[in-house]
Amino acid sequence: MHEQIRIEKTPSGHPVVTCEGRQMSSFIDPHKEAIEWVDHYSSLLANRKAIIVLGVGSGYHIEALRSRFSGHVIVIEKLKPLVEHFQRTFKELNERVTVMSLSEALKRISEEGLPAPYAVVAFAPAIYLFKMEYQSVFDHLVGRTPEGLSHQFKLRGVGHYFCPDTLDLESPAESFRHFAREQALPLRWRNIFRAIGEVIK
Amino acid sequence: MRILLINFLRLGDILMMSPIVNALRRKYPGAQFHHLGFKEFSIAEEVMEQVDCWHYISRKELLHSCRDATDGLLSPADLIESKCRELTHFEFDLVISLSHTTFSSICAGLVQGKRTLGAYVDGDELKFSTSNFERINQHESLDRHHYLDWFRLGLEMTNEPVDWSFQRIKSPVGTDRRSSLTDGRRVYLIQTLSSDEKKAWSMERWLELFALIRRRDPFAEIKLLCAPFEREHLATLAEQADAELLSVGLKEAHSAIQKADFFITLDTSTKHLSNDSKCKVIELCLGSSDHRKQSIYRAGSVILTPRDECYPCSPRDFCPKVQRSCLKGIAPSDVISAIEFSEGKEKVSFSCGAFVTTSDQLWACEEITGRKGGEIERSESGKPTVESHSEA
């Protein structure tokens, strides 16, 4: 076990994790806290084929998400001991949750593909200590940086898209209008972006 | 055989296409009917029993996904792409675009049915299944036709009867036992609220109307029809008017309309349900509600409009006046005149524009200027018309 990682017990005997002294979940009722966390993202669960969670923490939020969401659940975690703890504690989830290490996540996703549409959610207590590293993966997965956007198009089979300097990724409406005119994109995608432009104009 | 109908407009526009679905059902008996639209108007499922399977894209989610940093920038595109791909797997024999918008034309192209009717995008080209749809797109026939007739003309269905039945088996409208036949009291069902503020009438005017109705019909049963979420908003008005508040879903509203003697309504989706009834309908068209494009279809209904220069206004523009002049353009006494006209009274007068629908093969109306020997005296209305589908 990593020297900074400690496994404690709640009053009711459930294992909970601290990392460098930071609690990864409630030490009183981690189940209740996890349900509330999933409630916060409930609007995402309806039409997504996959949810990517950054940070495994004590694992209760993954368990709660799994019970509410029928699509793919992918967890990205930097600390291997936390992954091992999760796989030991939540054995029944091992086949229903894909766990990836932070260092190999982008490579694996590029190789294996990702069911779209998906959403990326960060579990704040777990990513706090390695925020910059998680931020980089998050940006790639949501495609709101030039590199991330190219990566996103690559995942959808468009290998020759290079984000122009003039594209303002802070303004989604402008981005969609740009994509609708982007000759490098397949016609099907350009039409879809044109349709989105009609909805948000 | 599988048929997909695409309609990305609002609830009223979906209900308004019911005669087309019925005509298609007659033409293709045994076919499976699917419908693709915005999730926000899924309530149409309650009454449109002609459709077998409903598919949705959530407009709210699409917009949320565009601006939410948790979602990928391409997530909204994924939402549309995955839905259209899912529908492609049904291998539709026929895809029909029933809303003449860019969004529905693109989706009609993406679904890739064996044959597509209406306007649809093929590659980067906008195509039309018939020259009638092309004429609609060039605004050639917009001035002349009701929205429903655009599509009936486009789909070459004008020889088909306009069947407004919302049930798969024709509803027994003609044999409905209405309250007037059972207890002698006439039921006035009134929809006082509109989802669009510009189409609303003031509460003072409604109260004045209720008083006038009770003066001429002391035992009148006045019922205010509203959606459950509007109940609180109308509670005071109902109490002041001593009216029953009927806050119900679409199916119950349909049933209530069929049992009423009169249905007085603004430009609402429920007015399209009243086409499938025998009750007398009086529609108040205010603001952007253009009676020539989207009013009640059934023959014999009365439409009241203000005579203001600015009527009908554009749905996208804010009214620049301190108080909308069209609010006063229709007086409560005009509604009473409309009720009397519906009852067959010989001489009626209106301070506003008043029309009676005379729809047969196509929607039509004639201005009411009085009656001479039982005939409606006709006049041509000089009102300007909007140049496009105002709410697309």
Low-confidence winner among A74-88, A173-187, B168-182 (lowest mean pLDDT): B168-182
Q: Is residue A90 less than 8 Å (CB to CB) from chain B?
A: no
Q: Is residue B82 less than 8 Å (CB to CB) from chain A?
A: yes
To the nearest whole Å, the CA of B329 is away from the closest chain A CA by: 33
Give the whole-angstrom CA distance, residue B364 versus residue B350.
Answer: 20
Which pLDDT tens digit goes with each residue over B310-360? 888 777 777 777 777 777 889 999 999 999 999 988 788 899 999 999 998
Give the whole-angstrom CA distance, residue B71 versus residue B319.
Answer: 37
User: Are B186 and B261 spatial neighbours (Cβ–Cβ below 8 Å)?
Assistant: yes
* Pairs across A and B, CB distance < 8 A: 103
Q: Is the pLDDT assigned to residue B9 strictly greater than 50?
A: yes
| Residue A110: predicted pLDDT | 80
Helix, strand, coil percentages (3-state) for chain B, rounded to 5, are 35, 20, 45
Interchain proximity B110–A141, CB inside 8 Å: no
pLDDT band at B142 (very low <50, low <70, confident <90, very high): low
pLDDT band at B168 (very low <50, low <70, confident <90, very high): low
Low-confidence winner among B229-243, B282-296, B371-385 (lowest mean pLDDT): B371-385
What phi, psi does A99 have (nearest 5°)?
-110, 130
What ranges make up the beta strands (E) of chain B? 2-6, 32-38, 53-57, 94-97, 116-117, 119-122, 125-128, 187-191, 221-226, 244-247, 262-265, 280-284, 302-305, 353-357, 365-367, 371-372, 375-376
Which pLDDT tens digit goes with each residue over B57-111? 999 888 888 877 777 888 889 899 999 999 999 999 999 999 888 999 999 999 9
Mean pLDDT (whole number) for A160-167: 79
Give the whole-angstrom CA distance, residue B21 versus residue B16.
Answer: 10
| Residue B11: predicted pLDDT | 93
Question: With a CB-CB cutoff of 8 Å, which residues 52-71 of chain B face chain A?
Answer: 58-59, 61-67, 69-71
Question: With a CB-CB cutoff of 8 Å, which residues 106-165 of chain B face chain A?
Answer: 106-107, 109-110, 121, 123-124
| Residue B71: predicted pLDDT | 77
For residue A41, give the nearest of A22, A15, A68 by alpha carbon.
Answer: A68
pLDDT band at B385 (very low <50, low <70, confident <90, very high): very low
Interchain proximity B72–A156, CB inside 8 Å: no
Which pLDDT tens digit goes with each residue over A89-146? 998 888 889 999 998 888 888 888 888 788 899 999 888 888 889 998 998 888 878 8
Mean pLDDT (whole number) for B204-219: 91
How many CB atoms neighbour CB B169 within 10 A?
7
Highest mean pLDDT among A176-180, B240-244, B260-264: B260-264
pLDDT band at B224 (very low <50, low <70, confident <90, very high): very high
Interchain proximity A47–B79, CB inside 8 Å: yes
| Residue A184: predicted pLDDT | 83
Interchain proximity A142–B70, CB inside 8 Å: yes
pLDDT band at A157 (very low <50, low <70, confident <90, very high): confident
